[in-house]
Chain A
């Protein structure tokens, strides 16, 4: 840990130095030039004209600088690079991720960049305006969230999640808005010009939760699945709902003056809320199915599979936005629907590409937004009003706690696994605000909101407070409260038991004669297998999750076996002798039976190592060739994919050294990893003995 980290640190230092010099270059270049670049489009014509014009006065310029031409992309790229370097540094230093969430670093970097820009009196590139944000920056984030959502726990808790996120957002928005309106009425604070609509809008903006930091903490502390899903699901739906509310309120503000709003408009607002929400989901599902259908036919052009996935999701977003339906919900629904079928259809490489590209896009967007947030912090567009800001913060905390406890109290009555007070406390504390609140604040139209700066300042304060203070303290809080942990071990036994349990529960419910959502799920699965999968998946062989899990582990295991083949075969001959001697003495039927048992346990090793030998009539031995083929052909790539990542929803690759369910016989120490090479099985003489050696099952 010492020297690689040290060399990494040195490398990092050099890189940072390089980056800073690159940063200084534009600053220097800018300071030299006159401060007249008000338009930020590439000054191709004027710049060069200048150069050409000045040609007549001076000599030919050997070396010219035209920074304005590349300014926007240059700076944007620099920001992204800087944030990425910061992330690298953040993760290199081991203790930091435990202390604070990653968003803190991003915001800090943003503030740094903002300080630099402000200090050099530079005009920052216009990364953020309404269209850019809603059309380019927001979709990747939403897509990433929707695609990597663990579907099964989500749908198991769907009722609670829906109840909590919809009503929670509404309660929070209206609660904060109305309370702030009440505060604004007090003359002493100088806020009386903020009318009800503006306050309600602000309330809806500020209640957009961005719990990425909280989720990081949860993942690290391995909190139980229900808690994780509640927060995750809330963030997923919350974005969409907040934007819907935001748009409704903006429409109100635009269309009517405050006094003219009638009850019919309010009813229309409600109806619009539902239309927008449900319509969005419907849109998304339709697009998801279409794209899944498309991917069925792409086996000859697998290079365009990622393209299909991204473009269809994006299209669903844009089409929904055209009709003023919630594009966020549409995109989320599309991603969720699409994922199941697309994953079956696309090739391994496309699958990896999709995953990584999505993550990359999402992280680029988020970085840009945070950096821009930092840039706005250190700027001139602020208005500080103690009362408004303090009360905003206060109301955010209070209303969140209120809504959590009230709504969960009700929903606990309908759940068989109710959320404890500890859980509820954690949920109410994990209401971190983030990029979405800031973006919505930044994009307020100034003509309708003369005191926009006040809103921006208040939003920034809330964000900084929640991200830094709550983000840093939520880790210790979770550990202190000792929230119920989850057992995330991926094991076949568990999967079998869970499946059995599901069926059994459904059976018992049938016997009792009542309906519940297990039967709903069963029915959906039946429908899915019968119709949907046939249409949407290539070779329509419905595979069960049990089998997929099993195959995944089998492949992992096979790779490990192959790599250690050489080492094992050497030592096998020694034991062969001793075993054979022993075996001569024990030939009672019971022993033979137990031997047979043991041999069937040795199934895997035999498969890989002894293709020809078959001494004890092993019951199933027909898939060796297949296994060999798999191994020889895909050895290298499979090992890579096993090591790096898999489709576990929890986002971190399972360590291959930790999950070994079989042992390698002839107790050696830890096997050493070897480079991949062709292992020819037929020549293995030692392989014969494999089937003789009794089982040595070691714990990992």
Chain B
């Protein structure tokens, strides 16, 4: 293409704008997604003077198109001529920050935050900050909501007069009359606190924080809990008691379970933010209450934090606190009426054993693990089994194996295939810990049964499991216990089972080594090349390609090659294709 460089007349703006206006939404969307290409074709000046005004004027479109536009504009700085001109992008993004759809607005704010960094301090005050002010005093709630996300990015880089204005705007929005705006302000409170000077943090933010934390709407109050983490981190320790703790205590006992849930959910962060002393005096009892909350949602959220909370307790009193305050609550949760609470607990409870050590684990935790292993809900049992390695490190798995086994056998036959899948994935670990004999005796049949599961994902996982077992127990073990059974399936009337033989061979050949592969597996594969089902035949071709590198060249030339050549003339096109592929990969042509 001649003279592409600078020859903008090739691409009259009208044509490009037509594309952005196309009647078909999908085409419009495609064009918007390539807006940078259009801008590139127009050059920086025409992008500034023609394209951006067009975009600013025509912002009434499907939200999906607007979303794409908002995203594009965040990366447009170079296309309008660099940081010097970046403020040209503000008008269209300002309009986008006022639309109704949350996703679009959020994206516009994200882009604005991004390009704010590219503004010089002067441009920030001349162009950016006035935009924030306009949004903050907009009529409809959407623009005010968007403004909340912009204060913190411009605050650090403006003069102190402007800073005072920004603080004032933020204060106003925290007391806005629509809850949507208060929620937005509350959710940005933590972020804004981080850029504020400590004095203003104490004089301004704390009163806003207290007010939001006692808002009439629980959806606002719960967001203040999040801010609490940042604020507590920023304040010096000696101020926490007076400035933060009254509010936090109140939140932990809020009448709305949503707020309590939030406290439970943020508990570890809160614990780190307030430090060890307050944790000991205040958070331990609060945590006990959350573990005993009347709502299952809250108990489950708290149960999830048990391990982290205990880990982060100050070392000098950790064991004592856990044994006297936390463990009694945990014991109760083991027999909770709600399965989600129990399963949340089951996912972390094993972690306590490393904290408490061997003796405490055997005396206090083991009964709980065993109780959960026998729980009626499979998810609880699964969570326990999935975390066995933690306990193993502390007391060894033999202790558990007797109680463990019935649970594993039951889960291995669970009606939900995802549960079966999870168990399969733990087999290699268990096998390694239990040893060959125990495994052969108790688990081998299970592993073989999975090979004929009616769900493909299970058969596939079972195949992979066999490979890992062979890697652990060695080729000889494989030859005696696994290979005969696998090869036996080659005569199964069900072609899916016959194919499983091939998949197993693919997985096992390398681990079993040349001898077993050539002498035992290869004949079976070759025999299957005459199978009446085409899928089996082309999988033979794929298997030969896979195991070829393990075989010696003699076997390749005399046994594999003729079979592949025959398959390459098969009537089925897929068989032909894979046979030819195998021939070329194994360089047998």
Q: Does B bind A?
A: no
Chain A residues with CB under 8 Å of chain B are: none
